[in-house]
Amino acid sequence: MSTVPVGAGVRAADVRRMTFDDNTLVAALYGNHDRHLVRIEQLANVQLSARGNQLAIAGTPDDATIVHKALGALYERLKRGLSIEMADIDAAVRFARTGAERGDEDGIRTRRRIVQARSPGQRDYLAALRERDMVFVLGPAGSGKTYLAVAMGVSLLLAGKVERIVLSRPAVEAGERLGFLPGDMKEKIDPYLRPLYDALHDMMPAELIASRMESGEIEIAPLAFMRGRTLAHCFVILDEAQNTTPMQMRMFLTRLGEGSRMVITGDPSQTDLPGGQKSGLNDAVDTLSDVDGVRFVRLTSKDVVRHDLVTRIVEAYDARDKKTKG
């Protein structure tokens, strides 16, 4: 954190001050060795000077306003008994910068963690997951498409609101001909489904995942095995949907049975289909955009919650693509 005293080279009009009324929460707000304040300085281009429960924010009026709002939201979070991680710092600044309210502070409760929206786009996505039986979410890598869908599925399963979670991905690299790969069926499909396993392990203990998979309450299967099935009373996720064909997508969507919900995730910019083959995800967007009950959510680079560099990489590729199309 900056050690420059407020007022040294900074106009008084550029300084905003905050006082926190609960000293026991201030340490958690500032973080160990003021690491949370250091992160806010990096994100918002301000100087922060703390003296006990008093904090001064030095910077441009716009930046100071963003930080004032972000710190206020974080402090309210602590007052509700919630903890603060570095990701929450990033999220608070992200929301404050857009002027949007975070909302949904209770988040999605799983066995291991409470999962919350970390951007306005993710907030809208979570609202769609709660309200609609079929949600398409399109967005770049790192925007939380799969993670939030798995969190919602786990939450509903643990609450007894669905009987099963069914997770699926197209195995495009093997052309769906899994028999050519070595090993038994689980060994054949695991490489394609690993991101879904990773998300599950963030939500539930390993032994609970194993027992639920053994009982059939959690099923992970390649898209090739979905034909002819009716998926009732379950939460179904189709991941990497940009790698489906229109025929595969139509087949999958019509598996929806009574009491079930479906989430279809994909990044249209990362299609691995053979050249000239239309993506089933793009085809569904064109075909179903006016169908009542289907919700489309579009995330952008502003919703990327991985490393800051991922956001810049996504934006660079997007700019290149726009220039090429132009």
Dump pLDDT digits (tens) for 123-154: 999 999 999 999 999 999 889 999 999 999 99
- Give the end of a domain, one of 56, 80, 98: 98
**Residues 88 and 154 placed together within one structural domain of the fold:** no
- Answer yes or no: is 121 within a domain: yes
Q: Provide the whole-model pTM.
A: 0.79
Alpha-carbon Rg for the chain, nearest whole angstrom, is 23
221 token code pair: 């299967």
**Residues 249 and 144 placed together within one structural domain of the fold:** yes
- Answer yes or no: is 119 within a domain: yes
* Better-scored residue on pLDDT, 11 or 119: 119
**Residues 70 and 196 placed together within one structural domain of the fold:** no
- Give the end of a domain, one of 98, 117, 143: 98
- Answer yes or no: is 184 within a domain: yes
- Answer yes or no: is 3 within a domain: no
Query: Which one, of 164, 212, 221, lies nearest residue 188 by Cα?
Result: 221
Beta strands in 20-139 (DSSP E): 47-51, 54-58, 108-109, 114-115, 134-138
State the pLDDT at residue 183.
59
Residue range(s) defining the domain that contains residue 43? 12-98
The answer to whether residues 83 and 116 touch, using CB atoms and an 8 Å cutoff, is no
| Per-residue CA distances from 196 to 99, 247, 249, 257 (Å) | 33, 23, 19, 22
Task: Give dist(CA 176, CA 271) in Å, integer.
Answer: 15
State the pLDDT at residue 326.
66
- Give the end of a domain, one of 98, 122, 153: 98
Q: What is the DSSP string of 7-40?
A: TSSS-GGGEEEEE-S-HHHHHHHH-GGGHHHHHH
The CATH number for 263's domain is 3.40.50.300
Give yes or no for residue 283 having a pLDDT over 70: yes
Task: Give dist(CA 207, CA 222) in Å, integer.
Answer: 23
The CATH number for 18's domain is 3.30.1370.10
**Residues 35 and 120 placed together within one structural domain of the fold:** no
- Answer yes or no: is 5 within a domain: no
Average pLDDT over residues 320-324: 79
Task: Give dist(CA 138, CA 252) in Å, integer.
Answer: 17
- Answer yes or no: is 43 within a domain: yes
State the pLDDT at residue 299.
95
- Answer yes or no: is 7 within a domain: no
State the pLDDT at residue 106.
62
User: Domains in the chain: how many in total?
Assistant: 2
**Residues 57 and 184 placed together within one structural domain of the fold:** no
